[in-house]
Structure 1
Amino acid sequence: MNTVFSHMTMSLDGYIADPQDGCGELFDWYNAGEVEVPARDGHSSFQVDAGSAAMLRDMLAGTGALVCGRRLFDHTNGWDDNHPVGAPVVVVTHRPPRDTTAWPRTTFVGDVAAGIAAAREIAGGKDVAVASASIAAQALDLGLLDEVRVSLVPVLLGAGIPYFAGLARSPHRFEDPTVVVGSRATHLTYAVRRD
């Protein structure tokens, strides 16, 4: 069965964006090295260090669908229907666009459980990435998240959008992390404990 994971780049104080949705130096690690990793959208690439490159290649190759919320979808203009992971996108929203045919690689669903189920089906045997903080928190509370992945960057934002906020069923517990030390980011993968 495929793994459902969330992956976010996060500041040391737990934020994935500043109060204005800016990612600024949080994403510096995507251009902090000598190794080119082509995105799967066919249009962009990353320049990262060797450790980050291996992690990024594995994540890109293993992802068969991505789940996000309407806010991120709107903020990115739906990645022009071609997310950098190269996989179809499932958007959890109560207000889908009027013309969903304009987004042939995007599926719109009404709740998180339906979104994860749709993404699993679309992904086949590949992994499902959850790319919105709110959706990741809801999926964790519903027991639908298998892993939490954090690319931790050496900056303190002081305020902003937290990775996990408003959890309904905390505390959540995790196994010890696997750690990849990179340039401008330390990549942590935590398996969700099921006890």
Structure 2
Amino acid sequence: MGQVIASATASLDGFIARRDHGVDELFGWYDGGDVVVENAGDLPPFRLTEASAAYWLAWRESLGALVVGRELFDLTDGWGGTHPLGVPFVLLTHRPVTGSAALGSPDLVVMHEGVAEAVAAAQELAGDKVVGVAAGTIATQVLRAGLLDAVNVDLVPVVLGEGRPYFTDGAPVALGDPTTVVPGRGVTHLSFPVRPGG
């Protein structure tokens, strides 16, 4: 089985979006360079710097599946059934899913049991590749269940002051020294291993 890694763009004060889910201040780096990186589905291509493109493409290539929560799924309407990263995704939800354009997609697996079962389903899909975990509630649940191997942060030099945090319960998170540090334009890509007992 591959690693389980949370990944998100975040502000210097640890927020992945404003309270209203806005991300304009955080996502400028996706259009900060000259390297065109295509996305799956209907999302327009990114225009990244060479450093960010190399990092992003390596991350995308490493992925085998994702685990996402209901809030992100509803905000994006399940990406119409095709995630921009081009991998299958497991939706963990305790409510029925109706009326979404994503329903019926072969890339969507809906799980109601719990976070451990959702991660296991994603690992089955991913094989030896990485299972990516959405930041926020899902990443927090995966961390608290002892299932998270690493935390990736695309760190943007902005302070939001308030918003939606990367981890939601405020409990301490023990991370090791960064295994990846890639400076880009308007972003620094970082990866931290989760220490045992994180």
TM above 0.5, yes or no, is yes
TM-score when normalising by structure 2: 0.91
Q: Is the 8 A contact 1:17 1:161 kept in 2?
A: yes
1:46-66 Cα offsets, whole Å, 9 max, x none, are 111111111100111111111
Find out whether 1:128 has 2:131 as its counterpart. yes
Q: Who is 2:155 aligned against?
A: 152
2:71 maps to 1:71 = yes
- The equivalent of 1:116 in structure 2 is 119
Q: Aligned partners of 1:47 and 1:137: how far apart in 2? A: 30
CA RMSD after TM alignment: 1.7
Q: Where does 1:81-92 land on structure 2 (aligned, <5 Å)?
A: 81-92=81-92
The aligned counterpart of 2:27 is 27
| Counterparts of 1:132 and 1:89, CA distance in 2 | 14
Distance 1:18 1:43, change over 3 A: closer
Shift of 1:44: 3.2
- TM-score, normalised with respect to structure 1: 0.93
User: What is aligned with 2:5?
Assistant: 5
* Residue ranges of structure 1 left out of the alignment (5+ in a row): none
Question: In the comparison of the two structures, how many residue pairs are matched?
Answer: 193
Aligned to 2:189: 187
Equivalent residues of 2:19, 2:164 under 8 A apart: yes
8 Å CA contact retained: 1:7, 1:129: yes
1:171: Cα distance to partner? 3.0
Match of 1:176 in 2: 177
- Asked if the contact 2:81–2:103 (Cα under 8 Å) also holds between the matched residues in 1, the reply is no
| SS at 2:26 equivalent | helix
Q: Which ranges in structure 2 are unaligned for 5 or more consecutive residues? A: none
